[in-house]
Amino acid sequence: MHQGLPSASHGIALGVRKMRRVYLDHNATTPVHPEVLEAMMPFFQDQFGNASSIHWAGREVKKHLDEAREKVAVPLNANPDEIIFTGCGTESDNMAIKGVALAFQEKGRHIITTRVEHHAVLHTCQFLEKMGWEVTYLSVDSEGLIDLEELRRSIKPQTVLITIMLANNETGTIFPVKEIGEIAWERGIIFHTDAVQGVGKLPIDLKKLPVNILSLSGHKINTPKGIGAQYIRKGTKLASLIHGGAQERNRRAGTENIPYIIGLGKACEIARRDAAKRQAHLLSLRDRLHRGISDRVPHVKLNGHATKRLPNTLNLSFLYIEGESLLLNLDLEGIAVSSGSACTSGALEPSHVLLAMGIPPEVAQSAIRFSLGLSNTEADVDYVVEVLPKIVQRLRYISPLYQKEVAALKRG
């Protein structure tokens, strides 16, 4: 559908065999959109000025910097002066959480988050715990959603920040940020949402959502890696973490990364222009993939919410086998996906997100995340649906867990 976007799915010559390549890991990162690259190119050479310089070279670049800020603000229905450019989503999350913690430390040192946040949030909260802050990690149900009553009950007089993601990167489960924000605001608490996976995939209207700070990342929406942004609602008190020049209205010092900022502006402009087409495309491929796999492979379980889920994300557990083995076998067939497991001290640890959802460790360990993107086609999905069942069958054949199950069934 998106002509010109470098196909994430193409054949390459591998020895004598021409292998098809299908990239289904867009929640990890995305290819750069050709229009984004084209928009960035002049800013590496011709328009190289420093946006803070008052001569012609600086003034020209400053004009484009302002335009890019507006292009990021418009699809979010924010004001351009509420947008700050950062280096990545992780930096945006750090700036929000530590920035609020520092700004309000005299008022209180309690933060509320969930157990299923990205490590950019969880590890930042853990750092603050070591520094004397108290953090409440809300539990989630089997579909990955929090209980709003538990959130209400967790609020203390010293709570200064609620940080809860817009959509989960592993399961795609979408959080009720409007309701969460209302609860935060009723009690005068700052609400930050990590929207790294939501921006470009879901409509977001910050005039209607009670959100103080929102984090986003460029490389999830077809910019190069190394650019992010933060929305900070007018009037929100936040301490700066990077001190130096007066860039980004004193919120983040450092000479602006103009080519990448221009790229992010373009990516947001494209996301807005193509929003409806993009949503429909992703949703139809995701559901085709889900149907195709469910029709051909028994003992498959969906992880995440059935409907309140990102249009591009499908997380499935293939019972009785290791997600990691499945991932490696799919890789040999040219298919790139991700498993929830993380390698910690040489051992595979099941995903903290799936475990928090109450999924048994062996089921969590059998999970694979498929995340679709703009350049994927029906042919990509059909290739996966053709290849995957044979691999699952082979892995189950050698799986002691599966053989035990079959033997038990035979015994009746």
Supply the minimum distance, in Å, between the C-beta of residue 39 and ligand PLP. Answer: 20
| By the rule CB under 6 A, 25 interacts with ligand PLP | no
Residue type, 259: P
Supply the minimum distance, in Å, between the C-beta of residue 112 and ligand PLP. Answer: 17
Supply the minimum distance, in Å, between the C-beta of residue 271 and ligand PLP. Answer: 16
Which residues make beta-bridge pairs with 192? Answer: 163, 213
Instruction: Give the x/- contact pattern for ligand PLP in 224-263, rule: CB under 6 A.
Output: ----x-----------------------------------
Stretch that binds ligand PLP, among 88-96, 175-183, 329-337, 402-410 (CB under 6 A): 88-96
Contact partners, residue 37, CB within 8 Å, separation at least 6: 263
Q: Where are the alpha helices (DSSP H) in 144-187?
A: 148-154, 177-186
> Judging by DSSP bridges, how do beta strands 228-232 and 213-217 pair with one another?
antiparallel
Which residues make beta-bridge pairs with 191? Answer: 162
Closest to ligand PLP by CB, 313 vs 399, is 313
Closest to ligand PLP by CB, 125 vs 196, is 196
CA distance 182 to 216: 21
Instruction: Give the x/- contact pattern for ligand PLP in 184-223, rule: CB under 6 A.
Output: ----------x-xx-------------------x-x----
Instruction: Specify the DSSP class assigned to residue 299.
Output: S
| By the rule CB under 6 A, 118 interacts with ligand PLP | yes
Helix (H) or strand (E) holding 98: helix 89-103
Give the DSSP per-residue string, 326-385.
Answer: HHHHHHHTTEE-EES-EEETTEEEPPHHHHHTT--HHHHTTEEEEE--TT--HHHHHHHH
343 catalytic per annotation? yes
Torsion sign across C-alpha atoms 202, 208, 209, 212: positive
Using CB under 6 A, pick the residue from 88, 112, 221, 327 that binds ligand PLP: 88
Using CB under 6 A, pick the residue from 9, 90, 124, 351 that binds ligand PLP: 90
Residues of this chain that bind ligand PLP (CB under 6 A)? 88-90, 93, 118, 120, 165, 169, 194, 196-197, 217, 219, 228
Catalytic residues: 343
